[in-house]
């Protein structure tokens, strides 16, 4: 037995993202044009190392003072609708898996203590809060690559409990030698571009900078998040249960929520082999006929922010007149399952979208998005 999914529908009053291509609209345009933001870069930035696929905002990942994420995040935050964020009735939920950890790497390199002021999560959050003028009602989550899903699910609970009028969920993750070096040491960030859901001899991922926000409200809105499902395997730090039970536990919850509706799936699809196979096979089984896409072959994996960045990309695609959904860039046949959509398709033919993410520790998260 596992926990049941939350079914607390929340309206999305506003949502956007920042990737190396720009905002959600620019990102969709680039994806539909088949462009990759990933480029081969030294894994330790100016300290060198093997070339690996990275999608960077500004082109470099070495930390500066102030941290390199601050200026683009500050500019991006101007898109957030004005409200007294961080006050009692308008909480902010900040999600990230990196926060300012690149600054800790920078400190170990040049010993400038100013880097330490925004290294740990709480310090990065305080910097962000001060820069953006948010009050003290700030909730912070970090659960590796499902973090943004947790933030959105927590926001839905705050709204359902009457503890908020609106909730701002804000996520940011910028790549640094700290995290690139870590994934490189695990050998999944290597010299190959990611090919999500593709049955290759070896897997590979790319990493990308990304930020996103969503303003959630109780009021009805054309776009709504209806369901949040979560599951944690606790089988292995970096591996999944070989029988796919963890994927199945989470997917079954969202499949029950969309029964009878036509859906497509924005999968996690980083480009690793085992997780990619389990994800594609599981969704093919529990949601037969639903096309499965991943955009990490172009944008890279935006880590803790991927759930929110890819939600914003989804909404931007579905706001376009033809509702064309970008396909799985970088995917090469044969695929792990027949549901993988390599080419763009029309989102007009569907009633809802399932958005899934996975993380270290066998963490799984999925949500259901519906759009009128």
Report the interface residues with another protein, using CB under 8 A. Answer: 1-4, 6, 44, 47, 49, 84, 86-89, 97, 99, 101, 104-105, 108, 113, 116, 119-123, 125-126, 129, 135-144, 150, 154, 157-158, 161-163, 177-178, 181-186, 230-238, 246, 249, 360-363
When the beta carbons of 70 and 145 are compared against another protein, the nearer one is 145
CB of 224 to another protein, least distance (A): 20
CB of 219 to another protein, least distance (A): 20
When the beta carbons of 21 and 99 are compared against another protein, the nearer one is 99
CB of 348 to another protein, least distance (A): 34
When the beta carbons of 99 and 350 are compared against another protein, the nearer one is 99
When the beta carbons of 185 and 348 are compared against another protein, the nearer one is 185
Contact 43, 51 (CB under 8 A): yes
Q: What contacts 149, CB < 8 A, 6 or more positions away? A: 228, 230, 307, 357, 365, 366, 367
When the beta carbons of 11 and 135 are compared against another protein, the nearer one is 135
Task: Give the separation between CA 318 and CA 307, rounded to whole angstroms.
Answer: 17
Q: What contacts 216, CB < 8 A, 6 or more positions away? A: 10, 11, 12, 13, 152, 155, 156, 159, 166, 167, 169, 225
CB of 342 to another protein, least distance (A): 31
CB of 146 to another protein, least distance (A): 9
Tell me phi and psi for residue 297, to 5 degrees.
Answer: -70, -15
User: Taking each helix axis from N to C terminus, what angle separates 177-185 and 101-110, rounded to the nearest 10 degrees?
Assistant: 100
CB of 232 to another protein, least distance (A): 5
The strand pair at 10-18 and 138-141 is best described as unpaired
Consecutive H or E run containing 365: strand 363-371
Residue 172's alpha-carbon distances to 140, 213, 229, in angstroms, are: 12, 9, 22
CA 221 to chain CA centroid, Å, is 22
CB of 49 to another protein, least distance (A): 7
CB of 109 to another protein, least distance (A): 8
Task: Give the separation between CA 30 and CA 26, rounded to whole angstroms.
Answer: 6
| DSSP-assigned beta bridge partners for residue 228 | 6, 367
Give the number of C-alpha atoms closer than 13 A to the C-alpha of residue 345, restricted to the C-beta side: 18
Q: Which ranges constitute the DSSP H helices of the chain? A: 24-32, 70-77, 101-110, 121-132, 147-160, 177-185, 245-257, 273-286, 296-299, 306-319
CB of 308 to another protein, least distance (A): 16
CB of 55 to another protein, least distance (A): 20
Give the number of residues written for the chain.
Answer: 372
Tell me 38's DSSP state. -
| DSSP-assigned beta bridge partners for residue 325 | 345
When the beta carbons of 291 and 361 are compared against another protein, the nearer one is 361
When the beta carbons of 22 and 182 are compared against another protein, the nearer one is 182
When the beta carbons of 304 and 326 are compared against another protein, the nearer one is 304
When the beta carbons of 7 and 29 are compared against another protein, the nearer one is 7
When the beta carbons of 51 and 288 are compared against another protein, the nearer one is 51
Across the beta sheet with 39-42, the strand order is 39-42, 51-55, 207-208
């Amino acid at each position: 037995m596992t926990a049941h999914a939350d079914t607390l529908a929340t309206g999305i009053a506003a949502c956007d993202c920042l990737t190396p291509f720009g905002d959600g609209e620019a990102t969709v345009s680039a994806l539909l044009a088949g462009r990759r933001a990933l480029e081969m870069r030294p894994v330790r930035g100016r300290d060198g190392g093997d070339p690996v696929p990275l999608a960077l905002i500004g082109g470099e990942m070495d930390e500066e003072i102030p941290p390199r994420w601050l200026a683009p995040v500050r500019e991006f935050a101007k898109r957030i609708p004005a409200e007294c964020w961080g006050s009692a009735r308008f909480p902010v939920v900040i999600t990230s898996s990196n926060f300012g950890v690149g600054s800790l790497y920078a400190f170990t390199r040049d010993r400038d203590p100013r880097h330490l002021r925004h290294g740990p999560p709480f310090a990065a959050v305080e910097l962000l809060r001060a820069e953006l003028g948010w009050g003290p009602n700030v909730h912070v989550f970090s659960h590796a690559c499902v973090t943004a899903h947790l933030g959105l699910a927590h926001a839905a609970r705050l709204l359902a409990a009457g503890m908020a009028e609106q909730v701002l969920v804000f996520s940011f993750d910028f790549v640094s030698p700290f995290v690139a070096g870590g994934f490189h040491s695990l050998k999944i960030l290597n010299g190959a571009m990611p090919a999500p859901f593709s049955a290759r001899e070896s897997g590979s991922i790319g990493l990308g900078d990304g930020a996103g926000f969503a303003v959630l409200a109780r009021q009805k809105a054309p776009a709504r998040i209806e369901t949040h499902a979560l599951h944690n395997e606790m089988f292995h730090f970096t591996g999944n249960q070989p029988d796919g039970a963890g994927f199945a536990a989470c997917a079954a919850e969202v499949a029950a929520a969309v029964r009878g509706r036509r859906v497509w799936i924005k999968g996690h699809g980083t480009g690793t082999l085992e997780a990619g196979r389990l994800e594609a096979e599981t969704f093919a089984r529990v949601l037969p006929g639903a096309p499965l896409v991943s955009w990490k072959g172009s944008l890279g994996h935006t880590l803790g922010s991927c759930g929110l960045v890819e939600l914003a990309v989804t909404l931007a695609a579905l706001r376009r007149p033809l509702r064309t959904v970008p396909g799985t860039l970088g995917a090469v046949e044969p695929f792990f399952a027949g549901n993988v959509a390599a080419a763009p398709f029309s989102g007009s033919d569907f009633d809802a979208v399932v958005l899934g993410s996975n993380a270290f520790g066998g963490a799984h998260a999925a949500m259901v998005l519906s759009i009128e």
